[in-house]
Structure 1
Amino acid sequence: MAYLEQKNPIAETGIQVSPLGLGTVKIGRDKAVKYPDGFQIPEDDQVITLLEQAWESGINLIDTAPAYGRSEQRLGQLLKKVRREWIIATKAGEYFDAVSGESHYDFTPESLIKSIEHSLKTLQRDELDIVLIHSDGNDEHIIRHLGALEVLADLKQRGWIRASGMSTKTVTGGMLALEQSDIAMVMHNLQYQEEQAVIEQAAKLNKGIFIKKALGSGHLAKQAGTDTVQDNFDFIFNEPAVSSVIIGTINPTHLHDNINKAVKALAQ
């Protein structure tokens, strides 16, 4: 079995993450998701098996969010059965209503603090490793006018979180996030490179980069004679600033395949 030996530092936080992170939206939510194929939320034993597989393969990063339905709650319960030194990245700002199947956003300081308090409780942690602002696309307004990253910086000083950042949707937002925090989470793959400048800026500033939708949430076209996953991993991991690529799978076979191809890409 392939093993991800490499761990990448996040700015000056002391946090080191595996090149692949396990995204957990599918363990908590199956409504209003944008995957090409339907799926069933896995049972507890299936999640535990997946977590054990991830850890034994060198993955130490788990990505979650309040917007991922019951993901945080389930992780808080199930990680007690897979006791390892996990690095957990969660988010604040987007909230999911399981009844309506819709998200709403609130980036006021009061809401962000309440969200982080709730995440501490549901994840059953004394501090959160990483908290990212979960942007609705209005990155610059959220940062400049609502002061969301300033709230995270204050909570970092107070010992609530170890690293802060933002899951952005614009180049301006990514640049501002790198100025004011430790991490920018951006979309980047062979079919979308509009946030390349953010990745390059992270390399200059020694800040972290998380990659979301590296495989287009399963939508990247497959062409005969090509390996879409390998081609995208080769492309993404060629960027030295990339700290971790978040892969959202509940399929052990897919996880195994992703790990093998990430190891191959990293070895080049």
Structure 2
Amino acid sequence: MSESSSACPARAWERRPGCGRPSVQRRRLGELEVSVLGLGTVKFGRNTAVKYPEPFAIPDDGQVRRLLHLALDLGINLIDTAPAYGASEQRLGELLRGGRKDWVICTKAGETFDAGGDRSSFDFSPEAVRASVERSLRRLQTDYLDIVLLHSDGSDLEILDGGALDTLNDLKRAGWVRSVGVSSKTPEGALASVEQADTAMLALTPEYREDEPAILRAAELGKAVLLKKLIDSGHRPEQMGEAMQLAFAHAGVASAVIGTINPEHLRGNAALAEAVCG
């Protein structure tokens, strides 16, 4: 997408209503208000040891900046990143400069990625979680994070019992973080996460519905969750409509995070989200 391909070239961070059409709806996530469609940013910073069906090149700063402006014009305010997403946090810190107030930033703690070794490492000790949040604040060039999730390695219950969530709650009380939770990997962990934390990031697809009880429980508790892997990391694009209908039928779902570096995909996802929710 070139600058000249947009009728509303991105010059400043203010949203231009109508420029991006359509405008996605928003839902409550605790004290936050988030767009029902969130923008995932793995591809902003990492293209090795990923689960996507096709290889891709990491976009340059101009491409990412235009995509971010398009997202904002479409009404998308939730952006999802993580230390494990390579250079994603650092790039967002530079590219969102001057527009922090327009975004709800979700990042994570507990997992880091070694680009040289193409592998992740995990540390959920209180010291490591605190250090991770401090690094994210620096990289994202902000003095607060809207959402921080523990980036589970699959041992959800052990993580919850190990003090990592207590550390995030301490940082929340200190004003560093506004909402805390877990990006879980097991149905048991999903349920425990919505019971114990402000929110959780859960998986839901037409084929995988094991986390659905946790979504229902979140609604019972007056909470809401974020969803990931709506189309199985891009392996089931033909299911996007069905997946969104399933997701947004739940009162306990605040937003579905879908990653893309393709402007037309972003427009299509936003149009579909608006059609389903409208």
Q: If the length of structure 1 is used for normalisation, what is the TM-score?
A: 0.94
Which residue of structure 1 lines up, in the alignment, with residue 79 of structure 2?
62
TM-superposed CA distance for 1:208, in Å, is 2.1
Cα contact 1:48–1:82 (8 A) shared by 2:
no
1:126 partnered with 2:143: yes
Residue 199 of structure 2 corresponds to 183
Kindly state the Cα deviation for residue 107 of structure 1 after the two structures are TM-superposed: 0.3
| 1:78-227 mapped onto 2 (5 Å cutoff) | 78-80=95-97, 82=99, 84-144=101-161, 146-220=162-236, 222=238
Q: 1:179: Cα distance to partner?
A: 2.1
- Which amino acid is 1:80 matched to? R
User: Given that residues 52 and 82 in structure 1 are in contact (C-alpha distance below 8 angstroms), is that contact kept between their aligned partners in structure 2?
Assistant: no
Percent identity reads 48
State the Cα deviation string for residues 199-251 of structure 1 (Å, max 9, x = none): 000000111210000011111274xxxxx211211121111111000010000
Q: 1:246 aligns with which of 257, 262, 266?
A: 257
In 2: Cα distance, 1:196 partner to 1:83 partner: 33
Contact kept in structure 1, 2:224 and 2:251, CA below 8 Å = no
What pairs up with 1:8-87 in 2 under 5 angstroms?
A: 8-11=27-30, 14-80=31-97, 82=99, 84-87=101-104
Alpha-carbon distance in 2 for matches of 1:249, 1:242: 20
1:3 aligns to 2:5 (yes or no)? no
Corresponding position of 2:6:
none
State whether residues 149 and 177 of structure 1, in contact with CA within 8 Å, keep that contact through their aligned partners in structure 2: no
CA contact (8 A) 2:157 2:189 kept: yes
**Count of paired positions:** 258
How far apart are 1:71 and its partner, in Å? 0.2
**Match for 2:105: what amino acid?**
I
Q: Is the 8 A contact 2:38 2:78 kept in 1?
A: yes
Q: Tell me, yes or no, if the aligned pair for 1:8 and 1:19 is still in contact at 8 Å.
A: yes
Paired residue type of 1:170: T
SS at match of 1:47: helix
CA distance in 2, matches of 1:213, 1:54: 19
Match of 1:264 in 2: 275
Partners in 1 of 2:126 and 2:99 — Cα distance?
A: 33
| Per-residue Cα deviation, 1:1-41 (whole angstroms, up to 9, x for no partner) | 2111x221122xx2110000000000000010000011100
Structure 1 residues 48 and 221, CA gap change in structure 2 (3 angstroms): closer
Structure 1 residue ranges without an equivalent (≥5):
223-227
Aligned to 1:225: none
Alpha-carbon distance in 1 for matches of 2:247, 2:28? 17
Q: Any conservation in 2 of the 1:48–1:81 contact (CA below 8 Å)?
A: no
Distance 2:271 2:223 in 1: 26
Q: 1:84 to 1:231 in 2, by over 3 A?
A: same
Flag as ranges the 4+ runs of structure 1 deviating above 4 A. 81-84
State the distance in 2 between where 1:154 and 1:83 align.
23
The superposition leaves residues 108-155 of structure 1 with CA deviations (integer Å, 9 ceiling, x where unpaired) of 0010000000000000011111100000000001111x1111111111
CA contact (8 A) 1:51 1:82 kept: no
